[in-house]
């Protein structure tokens, strides 16, 4: 009797709860996101901006390097490297703490030049991003192999989706979401019709270039969510109930 009660409770819970489903925004928000995505595809690629965790190479063109006799070549190389901390800053000789996150390398170089003018005449500084642990884009949702992908190995949205194994049959390809962080550290969401993106000719759309840190999410269609619920019931719940010793028959699409 206890087994039967447990089985009935599980069936009721399965009917009330489907696997985690993230609903799409309403139609107005999706349409606005699609219009913004079309404009996004027309824009030139933005300048690369510095992020927390990046390792920067900062070189002052005169007087920066100590003599070879004092240091090995490797130590000289390392003296020009600075890692941006989680709070977005790093320490630079003489000028102290520097805020780097959100700036382009050129903007940061200009700031360092300005602050060094107290100590050097006509300081010249070059800044480059040497290493970045965040050189990835993230592809999830209804794709065959949700995963982070190296950037720029997957430079466009369609290449990233293909790199993740392609869209599943239960996906809603008309509302693929692209989440991109803006200069204030807030995500902005764009919606792309993947089917139109892949069309050639006049019906097609311009490729959507990705940036490091972008998140691509392919939602399930309404039918896909219902199919997932049936799959949970047929392949997971019923075998478990059978192990409790409860026997019953089921027949899909049975005439009443």
Mean pLDDT by 10 residues, the chain (256 residues): 47 44 53 58 73 90 50 53 93 92 93 88 86 86 91 83 91 87 78 75 65 88 50 43 39 41
Give the span between the Cα atoms of 212 and 168, in whole angstroms: 24
Beta carbons within 8 Å of 100's beta carbon, 6+ residues apart: 50, 54, 56, 84, 88, 89, 90, 108
Class of domain 54-131: alpha beta
Q: What is the pLDDT of residues 15-71, one digit of tens each?
A: 444 444 455 555 555 555 555 656 666 666 677 889 889 999 998 765 444 444 444
For strands 215-218 and 136-141, give the pairing. Answer: parallel
Give start-end residues of each CATH 3.30.1950.10 domain in the chain: 54-131
Report how far residue 87's alpha carbon sits from residue 67's, in angstroms, rounded to the nearest whole number.
Answer: 34
CATH number for the segment(s) 25-46+134-237: 3.10.560.10
Instruction: Say what the pLDDT of residue 251 is.
Output: 38
Where in the chain are all domains bearing CATH 3.10.560.10?
Answer: 25-46+134-237
What is the CA 84 to chain-centroid distance, rounded?
Answer: 20
Give pLDDT, residue 100: 94
**Whole-number pLDDT of residue 32:** 55
Q: What is the pLDDT of residue 236?
A: 44
């Amino acid at each position: 009797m206890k087994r039967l009660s447990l089985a009935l409770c599980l069936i009721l819970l399965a009917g009330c709860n489907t696997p985690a489903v993230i609903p799409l925004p309403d139609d107005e928000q999706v349409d606005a996101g699609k219009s913004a995505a079309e404009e996004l595809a027309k824009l030139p690629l933005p300048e690369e901006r510095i992020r927390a965790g990046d390792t920067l190479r900062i070189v002052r063109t005169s007087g920066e390097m100590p003599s070879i006799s004092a240091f090995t070549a490797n130590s000289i190389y390392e003296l020009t490297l600075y890692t941006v901390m989680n709070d977005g800053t790093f320490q630079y000789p003489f000028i102290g703490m520097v805020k780097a996150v959100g700036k382009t390398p050129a903007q940061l170089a200009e700031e360092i030049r300005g602050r060094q003018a107290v100590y050097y005449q006509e300081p010249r500084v070059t800044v480059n991003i040497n290493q970045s642990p965040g050189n990835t884009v993230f592809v999830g949702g209804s794709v065959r192999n949700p995963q982070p992908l190296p950037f720029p190995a997957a430079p466009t949205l369609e290449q990233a989706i293909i790199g993740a194994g392609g869209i599943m049959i239960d996906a809603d390809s008309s509302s693929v979401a692209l989440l991109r962080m803006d200069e204030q550290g807030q995500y902005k969401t764009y919606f792309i019709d993947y089917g139109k993106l892949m069309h050639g000719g006049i019906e097609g759309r311009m490729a959507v270039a990705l940036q490091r840190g972008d998140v691509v999410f392919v939602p399930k269609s309404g039918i896909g969510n219902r199919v997932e619920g049936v799959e949970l019931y047929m392949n997971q719940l019923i075998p478990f109930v059978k192990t409790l010793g409860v026997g019953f028959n089921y027949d899909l699409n049975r005439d009443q």
